[in-house]
Chains A and B, each alone.
Chain A
Amino acid sequence: MRPVAIIGTGITKFGELWEQSLRDLFTEAALKAVEHSKAPRLDALYVGCMAPGLFNGQEHLGALAADYLGMGPIPATRVESACASGGLALLQAVIAVGSGVYDYVLAGGVEKMNDVSGGAATLALGTAADGDYELFFGATFPSLYALMATAHMARHGTTREMLTAVAVKNHFHGSKNPNAQYPFEIKPAAVADSPLVAEPLHLLDCSPITDGAAAVVVAPLDLAKKLVKKPVVVSGFGHATDTLALHHRDDMTELKAVALAARKAYGMAKLAPKDIHVAEVHDCFTIAEIMTCEALGFAKPGEGGRIALKGETRLGGRIPVNTSGGLKAKGHPVGATGVAQIVELVAQLRGEAGARQVKGAKVGLAQNMGGTGASSTVTILEVTK
């Protein structure tokens, strides 16, 4: 595969965006990315979106996206892997450019979630789990992660304080991100005082319902160098799957697909966890960040909560995680999330992250997962000298 770089990024505000439709959001982010990239054309686009049929009564997003971007004839494909749809759209673009089939490819992600009620959103998101064997019996996404949290707490001694530390830290980071849905800090007591959703998870352990979009433009490194000063190279990536139903896993305290995707990405980049300077991980719930930090090798198995409590994952810590505010504070428009992670890392590696800049960051890692970890992508980015 020839080397591939990211040459432009675009993102919308994340939040309850009543004035913007699904197509408005995608087009805003995509136009920003194209203009930022200075690409002479687009050869193809991939758009990650989880459930536009259920949220918006709209499928066939590839054609819609190309049409409203004014790129009508180009090949356009919607990619779906639940909440990992965005991360996977990026990997499709990277593979398409890396293979030599296309030169300039846009990878976007979008979700417009606030056009339905909270109950309908719960059911739409629930389709990422096993419909016949989880949803039917009353499972919701918070409850599935709660089952993982109960098991993790029993096995590893993970505590309420550790879960809280993740939420407080991500809100601290989010307070420095003007695009975040909740750009403010929260006090530790607020987490445990917020309503119970599914024990042991409270409302402030959960990522919100969000509208938003993000996009990046991918190009071969040799062309990228001619267009932008600091192309960010995709030096490694991985993608793996696990059982769809949580209860079929041998160990519910591990995220095997994340670990496998990470192993592939580290191998391709010839890097180890200690080489990562900044990471964006899939903290759909506080327990998810703890478990992904373990699967990515930032913490030993069972130690994911402890590194959060010690401040190792905070700005200025050993391995800053979710400097954007993460899904928790930045918001989680599911299809957009995986691409928004890349937008944040590109800003970090180019030294353009402002108040939340990780000093000297040259290597970043993004991890995006679907369902309870039934699919996961891991992408490693490096800034070229």
Chain B
Amino acid sequence: MTTSARIWREKPHRYRLEGVRCKKCGRTWVPARQVCPCGSRGLSAMVLPEEGRILTWTVVHTGHPEFSDSTPYALVVVEFGKGARLLMQLADFRREDLKIGRKVKVEFRKVQAAGESGVLCYGYKAVACSE
């Protein structure tokens, strides 16, 4: 399902964490959207901070065929300030890093090699900040 056009189109969100802030309710969103769930269409461009905290986590042991080489891998939901949340892998994880509230920073990484031709897809992954 991953095509070069699709990868190219997602560059602002996946490569640069560009999104929007709602002028009415103040919430931030990645990817950018045309309407805030609060109903407002007054949205301005913003870029997410690079640090956030883990809201929840899991370690995936079986499943996703595109990631069979990297199993087991950790998935986390990261909250950036009091706004946007994103799901991403926690790269190079140690068990002790898998904690709700753990501070992480977002890095530009290879996410997967898609399809039979192995098109490299880049995006963001979290890494634990030194404590």
Contact = CB atoms under 8 A, between A and B. Distances in A.
A151 B55 contact: yes
Contact of A133 (B31, B63, B89): B31
Contacts of B85: 247-248
A197 B86 contact: no
Contact of A198 (B61, B112, B121): B61
A133 B1 CA distance: 13
| Chain A interface category by residue count | 35 or more
A148 B75 contact: no
Given A147-B57, A196-B61, A199-B59, A139 B100 contact: no
A150 B62 CA distance: 17
B118 interface: no
A301 interface: no
A138 B62 contact: no
Nearest to B88: A137
Nearest to A120: B65
Given A122-B64, A139-B75, A197-B63, A150 B57 contact: yes
B62 A195 contact: yes
Contacts of A115: none
A199 B10 contact: no
Interface string A178-202: 0000000000000000011111110
B96 to A, nearest CB: 14
Contact of A140 (B2, B37, B57, B63): B63
Contacts of A246: 77, 87
Contacts of A248: 29, 37, 85
Secondary structure of the A contact surface, majority rule: helix
Contacts of A195: 61-62
Nearest to B6: A132
Contacts, number: 106
A196 B61 CA distance: 6
B37 A154 contact: no
A133 B86 CA distance: 8
A201 B59 CA distance: 10
A260 interface: no
A132 B10 contact: yes
A243 B57 CA distance: 19
A197 B37 contact: no
A136 B75 CA distance: 12
Contacts of A131: 1
Nearest to B124: A137
Interface in A197-215: 197-201
A348 to B, nearest CB: 35
B131 to A, nearest CB: 19
B118 to A, nearest CB: 15
Nearest to B87: A247
A95 interface: no
Interface in A97-148: 119-120, 122-123, 126, 131-140, 142-143, 146-148
B119 interface: no
A163 to B, nearest CB: 14
Interface string B98-131: 0010000000000110000000010100000000
A148 B56 CA distance: 8
A243 B104 CA distance: 24
Given A119-B65, A248-B85, A138 B77 contact: no
A137 B31 contact: no
A140 B87 contact: no
A353 interface: no
A140 B60 contact: yes
Given A138-B66, A140-B60, 7 more contacts: A123-B65, A126-B64, A134-B87, A137-B75, A138-B67, A143-B60, A154-B56
Interface of B: 1-2, 6, 10, 29, 31, 37, 55-68, 70, 73, 75, 77, 85-89, 100, 111-112, 121, 123
Q: 5 closest Cβ contacts across the A-B interface?
A: A119-B65, A146-B58, A140-B63, A151-B56, A247-B85
Interface of A: 119-120, 122-123, 126, 131-140, 142-143, 146-151, 154, 195-201, 243, 245-248, 252
5 contacts: A133-B31, A133-B86, A136-B112, A140-B64, A247-B55
